[in-house]
Structure 1
Amino acid sequence: MKIKFKNLINIGICTFLLSVGSCTDDLDVEVNDDQNQTTDEFFSSDQAYLQALGKLYSGLAVSGQLGPGDSDISGIDAGFGQYLRGFWQLQELPTDEAVIAWGDPDLPVLNFGQWTSSNAFVRAFYDRANFQVSSVNEYLRQTTDGKLDSRGVSAALRTEIQGFRAEARFLRALSHFHLIDMFGNIAFFTENDPVVGFIPPQVSRKEAFDFVVSELLAIEDEMPAPQTNSYPRADQAAVWMLLSKLYLNAEVYTGVEMYTESLEYTNKILNAGFALVDDYQKLFLADNNFNGSQSESIFSVAFDGINTQSFGGTTFLTHAPIGGNIRPRAFGIDGGWFGVRTTESFVELFGNSSGSFEIYEYDNDLRLLAEDAGTLKAFDADGDFEYLGTDENNINPDFDSNEVYTYNFLTGVITNNGTEVSAPTMAVSIASQPLWNDSRGKFYSNGQTLEIATLSNYSDGYAIQKWRNVGVDLEPGSDGTGTHVDADFHMFRLGEVFLNYAEAVVRGGTGGTPNDAVGYVNQLRERAYGDSSGNINAGDLTLDFLLDERGRELYWEGQRRTDLIRFEQFTGGTYLWPFKNGATNGSPLPPHISLFPIPSTELVANPNINQNSGY
């Protein structure tokens, strides 16, 4: 279904990774010894420089070089240790947006904010992000002028490589941003440091912040103009977005407000020609690299069910929330993982449900009709049932066996060629599914309780149906087994830019106006409500509103922990949600939990590193 960097993780990339260093001596790289080349042999091909860059991008998407069960890092299951999944787990599970039912060692405490320096999931992301930094460092070592001279690289290719180097530095800045946000004072090493025998120093959060900002400013003019690079590679707008986010969080990271600077780079994106996609759901479908949502995407992590398989990324985000009465086939997958749900506190951000629809059952189980050998047969895709059998006229006079009828399980509506028709007279309602005026509230309640009594019980807590492995045409993704998902993860998108603008204005930044801020927020709400009924005015534009609106627009996109910290709601008792600090109804978290601990393995390996306060 997709054309991406799908052939770039090859034998030569393993050779390239042989010389990648790390800041911990137990960060292992798996290499296929039967197919080794020397680094110079690998880079003897002109295509190798783009291929190696492809490995850097794919480092955000795959877990290792040899398939979904392989990992570039040790000490944890390959799926759990995949970059995006590790990032998501640390950004979402400690918040009001997500809980997980699984009892893997060290996982439930992420819901409580009660981790220690030996937590395997904290360590896995720390190692993964540093592995990504190490990979970029090695790419930069292999593309210096001296290296290119020694290989006789042509002038034309050199020009291309300079652009590749800028993209690599962006990817390193992205991982540094994640490390700064989660761990504060970090081990610091660049391409200018030795690979072997070097013990990285620790730099302060502010020093790391200043370095990342300087890197982004240095590469800004070396990156392709917005929307001119090959999807999903980064361009100037991705650099501007990362600067916007860094400056928006600068007070947390450095103690200095930089909201005006955030607005400067937010405005550059707003003037770069991006546009909201018309339907929020399109952002999370299998064809979201060409269904229109690419106009909203500023930087995406690309996934493909055949060529970038892993048990992290959007495969995790699609499978993990599915269970109970939810139909996996409606999501283009082979089954659910009965894992992730949301809390009552988060559902409350969407207000009371505005109505409901009936979920029908026929002949004991409507959901099984697709596999029934009887006369009435159905085909489901994206929750729709198309009645293709010969006995529909016996069920309801309005049903014609020569027509196709569609049952939309998100709305409960049965249509024939776009016209709503009645449910079959013999159908029985088995549940009532709430609806919200705000269409971003993609909750599933049938068989689920709103309140969570037992964290490990999947049916406690509403499920969320955000990612789907089907396209707008309802065709499933490219992996015919239904295991791996095609949907890309839009890490930066225009919806967030609108909210960054509004927040920076409310916090006193110059370079924006309250009227424009309200206008940007209302564009998001008009898409969500389908009309202007959810619009706000200037008096509604408060920090409390914006935190809630960021939740409604960006939930499960790896934003919530950072947002709650910036709005001073993550620790303390001002805002309590279920299982915060391990209490069923929530209790205050101590201030030091705003940072994760430096893993104990790093402290043993590197005597230069000091633990974060409180651990």
Structure 2
Amino acid sequence: MKKRVLILTFGILLCFNLSCSDDLDTEPIVQLTLEELLASDPNAVEGLVSRLYASFALSGPSGPSSSDIVSPDAGEGAFLRAIINLQDFTADAMKNRWGDDGLDQLTTTSNWDRNNKFFRLFYDRAYYTIPQCNNFLQALEIADFPDEENIAAETRFLRALAYYNIIDVFGKGVLATEENLGQSEPLPEASRLELFNYVESELLAIEPVISETSNYGRANRYVVDMLLAKLYINAEVYTGTARWNDAATYVNKVITEGPYSLDNNFVRMFSLDNNTSPEIIFPLLAESVSSQSFGNTTYMVNGSLSADTMPLAQFGATQGWTGHRSSKGWYGLFGDSAEDLASSNDVRASLFWTDGHNFEMTDYRTWTDGFPVTKFRNTNSDGSGNAVDFSGTDFPFYRLSDAYLMYAELALRGATGTTTSEALGYVNDVRTRSNADAITMSDLTMDFIIDERARELNFEGHRRSDLIRFNMFTGGNYIWPWKGGSEQGTSIPDSYNLFPIPATALQANPNLTQNPDF
């Protein structure tokens, strides 16, 4: 049993009033108002904060079949599942064969439209979390309890994280805060720049006051720094103005001031005992008994396994959903055949199941075309553990090697506070940890960095955003299998750098407008 702070499925749904999507109307299941609850029991604040964190890890408060948002399948409405669907399936890394009501559109990066349920589920998840945070912050103003300033800072971070993802995938939305909580009129549309400025101001305000240390699974100053670095490294995409220097400032804080170090066991970070890893900066918690979910790493573990071709118990699972395989857009970076992967010294090359599978993905609907990924598993890093239905492996949302590779990218972009010599050292630290060969300065190029990010970070929800930042997602600069619906891949329009605003959101709020060409 992991010894850590578990996610509490706290049985209180926070009420809110937001004119964004009718699907988000939620009734309280207790009669006490939030203010009355905190006044009567100040200790309830910890459970309520845990519930806010749970919005990023679970689908709902009452087990795997419950959902905070309207969803035909509760697990589909979970934040992590949406991140993997929209970031990795739409890019070169992962492909899914199920074809469920819009999943083909993601896997083939084609035929996107406003009615795709996966766009709606992600939008609704974000705009479920944001009003919860707003309501809680408003209540905190009239309640007294220990560590009040830090609790408020954590809540503002979680709200900023939800908004960050709206900025990244939709490019606009509405700006709902505790200041307009309860407003009956539909909120005005907020542009990408307006949302960017809001998230930036929130993170800069809480960065000096949030605690430098935290319980496992909770935000601290370095988690805030990491989100600021992510915001700034993508600023040119989001606002049209590069902020490389600002990104370097906060990456440096994570690297030089934070208490993190590279894990000498790469596999541990994706195993059941990853709560002992010194590298994970911010995890999304999972637990196989009391906080079960079809939307956390269960989706990644079970979805990548099949009893037809793989030994489920070896990866701590009782179910294989026969769904996800990577394409050669990922494993092709380690070699041109299964034999190349098998002979590689790089530990990361070994995290593909090649037996009975084809290197080429001639048909993304055929399970044996492409290699399933065994990066995430529900066993300990030494292979011990019992096979169970739900994964207890935490998801490493932010980790140090990402910061190292961000530093290297920023050094190549000429950011102040960085040097290419230190960047080379960080990149080689990442590579040698996995037994990959060290590189020389002549190898350190932007092309190398985007490939190394794929080798190191794929199936971790970064890929689409990375490719957009490197101008490799749309157009024909970079082609991968099944891009644009073609087996060999084809160019896609620049409008695909954003997702369509869901039809339900447009219907609920007439102030919202659709993204171009959707």
- CA change 1:140–1:198 in 2 (3 A) is farther
AA matched with 1:465:
T
Matched residues in 2 for 1:84 and 1:48: separation? 26
Matched residues in 1 for 2:90 and 2:343: separation? 27
Asked if structure 2 preserves the Cα contact closer than 8 Å seen for 1:353 and 1:435, the reply is no
Where does residue 29 of structure 1 map in the other structure?
A: 26
AA matched with 2:265:
D
Q: Choose from 303, 307, 315 the match for 2:290.
A: 307
Q: Give the superposition deviation at 1:469.
A: 0.7
Bigger proportion of residues as strand: 1
Where does residue 526 of structure 1 map in the other structure?
A: 432
AA matched with 1:194:
L
The 5 Å alignment of 1:204-283 reads 204-225=191-212, 228-272=213-257, 273-283=259-269
The 5 Å alignment of 1:320-359 reads 320-323=303-306, 324-352=308-336
Where does residue 610 of structure 1 map in the other structure?
A: 513
- CA change 1:274–1:338 in 2 (3 A) is same
Deviations, residues 363-399 of structure 1 (Å, cap 9, x unaligned): xxxxxxxxxxxxxxxxxxxxxxxxxxxxxxxxxxxxx
**Does structure 1 residue 180 correspond to structure 2 residue 167?**
yes
Where does residue 110 of structure 1 map in the other structure?
A: 106
Q: Choose from 354, 357, 369 the match for 1:460.
A: 369
Where does residue 500 of structure 2 map in the other structure?
A: 597
The 5 Å alignment of 1:343-382 reads 343-352=327-336
Provide the secondary structure at the position in 1 that maps to 2:147. helix
AA matched with 1:466:
K
User: Structure 1, unaligned stretches of length 5 or more?
Assistant: 357-432
Q: Choose from 127, 130, 152 the match for 1:133.
A: 130
Q: Give the superposition deviation at 1:49.
A: 1.1
Q: Give the superposition deviation at 1:328.
A: 0.4
Q: Choose from 68, 74, 78 the match for 1:72.
A: 68
- CA change 1:130–1:22 in 2 (3 A) is farther
- CA change 1:198–1:298 in 2 (3 A) is farther
AA matched with 1:105:
D
**Does structure 1 residue 298 correspond to structure 2 residue 281?**
yes
Asked if structure 1 preserves the Cα contact closer than 8 Å seen for 2:271 and 2:393, the reply is yes
- CA change 1:354–1:579 in 2 (3 A) is closer
Question: Aligned-residue CA RMSD in angstroms?
Answer: 1.7
**Does structure 1 residue 569 correspond to structure 2 residue 477?**
no
Asked if structure 1 preserves the Cα contact closer than 8 Å seen for 2:17 and 2:183, the reply is no
Q: Choose from 271, 276, 286 the match for 1:285.
A: 271
AA matched with 1:491:
F
User: How many residues are paired up?
Assistant: 513
Where does residue 10 of structure 1 map in the other structure?
A: 10
Where does residue 436 of structure 1 map in the other structure?
A: 344
- CA change 1:489–1:30 in 2 (3 A) is farther
- CA change 1:474–1:36 in 2 (3 A) is farther
- CA change 1:589–1:343 in 2 (3 A) is same
User: Structure 2, unaligned stretches of length 5 or more?
Assistant: none
AA matched with 1:350:
F
Asked if structure 1 preserves the Cα contact closer than 8 Å seen for 2:248 and 2:407, the reply is yes
AA matched with 1:253:
Y
Q: Give TM-score scaled by structure 1 length.
A: 0.81
Deviations, residues 206-240 of structure 1 (Å, cap 9, x unaligned): 11111111100100111111xx2111101000011
Matched residues in 2 for 1:211 and 1:19: separation? 21
Q: Give TM-score scaled by structure 2 length.
A: 0.96
Q: Give the superposition deviation at 1:475.
A: 3.0
Larger Rg: 1
The alignment-based identity, stated in percent, is 39
Q: Give the superposition deviation at 1:37.
A: 3.6
Deviations, residues 426-474 of structure 1 (Å, cap 9, x unaligned): xxxxxxx834221112111111111112221111111110111111343
Asked if structure 2 preserves the Cα contact closer than 8 Å seen for 1:285 and 1:468, the reply is yes
Asked if structure 2 preserves the Cα contact closer than 8 Å seen for 1:20 and 1:135, the reply is no
Provide the secondary structure at the position in 1 that maps to 2:453. helix
Asked if structure 1 preserves the Cα contact closer than 8 Å seen for 2:15 and 2:132, the reply is no
Matched residues in 1 for 2:499 and 2:338: separation? 39
Segment drifting more, 249-258 vs 39-48:
39-48
Provide the secondary structure at the position in 2 that maps to 1:571. coil
